[in-house]
Structure 1
Amino acid sequence: MKKETRVQKKQRRRMFMLRLFFISLIVTAMAIFAIRSSFFKVDQIVASEGNSVSKEEILKAAGISKDDNILIIRKKAIIERLESIPYVKSASVKKKLPDTVEIEIIERKPYLQFENGYSFAVIDAEGVLLENSILKLKGIGLVKGIGWEYIPDGGSIIDKTQGTSILDLLNDQNIAPVVEKIEVIDLSDSSNIKFNLFNGIAVEFGPMNNVKYKLKVLGEILADVEKKNIPTKMILMNKGEHPILVRDDI
């Protein structure tokens, strides 16, 4: 194989740079054309509507206009705006060329509500404050006897309630089904917490210690009551080691 001369190497490098320049020029021209072309203008925005977050609220937070070019839309920025909505746990954005944007959200679900002045502070199972509602939400347990300083919507009650056993009710899928059966949790007497269940049964829970274990026991009792159709008025968990079932037909 004949060895290249210095002049030939120089010519080859010059040709390579020339080709690279023209390729870059073509790519730049195509990019400018694509950005300015109406072919890639957003024509359709598809958004999933949740139970608590409307389609209109999603579209407003996303901030996408039908005049926007789909190629330069920043998905990360849109997701950050969507996830700033307290009820939105996570969001995803997909571009479908040439002109469609799809938005999907996963909502946070109300788990408990707290008396908070003249409103009701609604939280999810992770302790995130979803809203301060003027009206009490139906079907969601109400906690009485605990409060905190101001928390913005989307903030967490965890930092404000550190050191309290109320945190034992959060972030636990094993006890969540039991908590969701409770209509009222009265914390006004720390030595004897009282529950009123949605099915009308009253529970004297005792102090808020071993909360997770006691709630699991309560869940087993309620399952047995329901299975055997036992007419029950009250469950006493503060009278010794074993719970006492007070029947409604005695």
Structure 2
Amino acid sequence: MEKKLRKIKKRPRKFRRIFRIFSRFFIFFSLIFLIVFAIRHSILFKIREINVLGNSRVKREEILRAGSLKVGEKFYNISKGERIKVIEKISYVNDCDLSFKLGGKVIVKISERKPYYQIQKNDFYLIDENFRILEALKSKSSNLLDIYGVDIDNLKIGDYIFKGEGDREKVNLLKELKDEKYNLRGNLKSVELLDSISTFVTIDGIKIHFGSYENIEYKLTTLKLILDDIKNTGKNAESILMEKGENPIVVEGGNGQRDIRYREESESSTEN
């Protein structure tokens, strides 16, 4: 009987001890929360000055509006991460860095995307190297690579023109075309991307029937050799057939059309 009474007495003491510990932790974290809340919403974090760096195409007002940044308001009314997330939704913004300094100075640093491609759909849609739609213009830009065969009917500014796994081969081809080792970057006028084949046109007007999306690196290496040979020998090339027979064929224009077959194994050409 005495043992039972002792156990009963011990239990309340144990519960009281746990309750005291829990209460202390609760009070401690509540104080921390109140202190942090008071500091974040105090006058110390009021925005007094905003500097925007790195913007050229994107207007300062658009960045401030997207990030809900305004002189006189509290910086931490909206989380820093949420402000950055919304600013990066602006089509021309590649990434954003946002900082707040004591004294009320906000610094917004952004890097902008640059147009590389264009697709015509009534207007001319400018696309960056990561295939994001940047804007639509009424007039054509002469220094951008034209893309044909890509459907953008259901897309809007800020969307990406390639999304599904079915576009992987087209994406790989476009990425390879930019590689400096092929010397095609800046030397192509247009690219047509169909479901199973692709075609290029150089700035010199040579039409390249590239064919399928298989063996892309090998075919581009061979194409570079062919284009170098055309340039060095002054051939009046009209088109290049990359998958016509065992070896690529160069079709010359002018009087008396001729085919020039390139033997891949020797990296040299012989006329037929």
What is the TM-score when the length of structure 2 is the normalising length? 0.64
1:140 CA drift (Å): 0.6
After TM superposition, give the deviation of residue 18 of structure 1 in Å: 10
Residues 95-139 of structure 1: CA deviation (Å, up to 9, x unaligned): 22231222222322222111213x112222232222222222231
Deviation at 1:162, TM superposition (A): 3.5
Q: Partner residue of 1:154?
A: 158
Structure 1, gaps ≥5 residues long: 1-11
In the alignment, residue 157 of structure 1 is paired with which amino acid?
I
Q: Which moved more, 1:46-55 or 1:108-117?
A: 46-55
Are the equivalent residues in 1 in contact too, given 2:54–2:112 (CA < 8 A)?
no
Instruction: Please state if 1:193 is matched with 2:196.
Output: no
**Contact 1:186–1:193 under 8 Å retained in 2:** yes
| Contact 1:45/1:100 (<8 A) preserved | yes
Residue from 128, 143, 167 that aligns with 2:147: 143
Q: Structure 1 residues 54 and 161 mapped into 2: Cα distance closer, same or farther (>3 Å)?
A: farther
Residue in 1 aligned with 2:241? 238
* Equivalent pair of 2:54/2:111 in contact (CA under 8 Å): no
1:133 and 2:130 correspond: no
1:183 to 177, 185, 189: 189
Q: State the 4+ residue runs in structure 1 displaced beyond 4 angstroms.
A: 15-33, 219-226, 230-233, 245-248
2:205 maps to which residue? 202
Alignment identity in percent?
Answer: 22
State the distance in 2 between where 1:16 and 1:40 align. 35
What is the Cα deviation at residue 141 of structure 1? 0.9
Q: Which has the higher contact order (CA 8 A, sep 6+)?
A: 1
- SS of the residue corresponding to residue 82 of structure 2 reads helix
Amino acid of the structure 1 residue aligned with 2:202: N
Which amino acid in the other structure matches residue 206 of structure 2?
V
Matched letter for residue 151 of structure 2: G
* Matching residue of 2:85: 80
Q: Cα–Cα, structure 1 residues 84 and 237, in superposed 2: closer, same or farther, change >3 Å?
A: same
Structure 2 contact 134–158 (Cα < 8 Å) conserved: yes
The answer to whether the 8 A contact 1:232-1:245 is kept is: no
- Is the 8 Å Cα contact of residues 192 and 204 (structure 1) preserved in structure 2? no
Tell me how far apart the structure 1 counterparts of residues 144 and 114 of structure 2 sit (CA, whole Å). 10
1:97/1:204 CA distance change after superposition, 3 Å: same
Q: Is 1:50 the equivalent of 2:66? A: no
Structure-2 separation of matches of 1:23 and 1:165: 58
TM superposition score normalised by structure 1: 0.69
Q: CA deviation at 1:235?
A: 6.2
Listed as ranges, the gaps of 5+ residues in structure 2 are 1-16, 255-272
Per-residue Cα deviation, 1:125-163 (whole angstroms, up to 9, x for no partner): 232222222222231111235434320212222247946
Q: How far did 1:238 drift?
A: 0.6
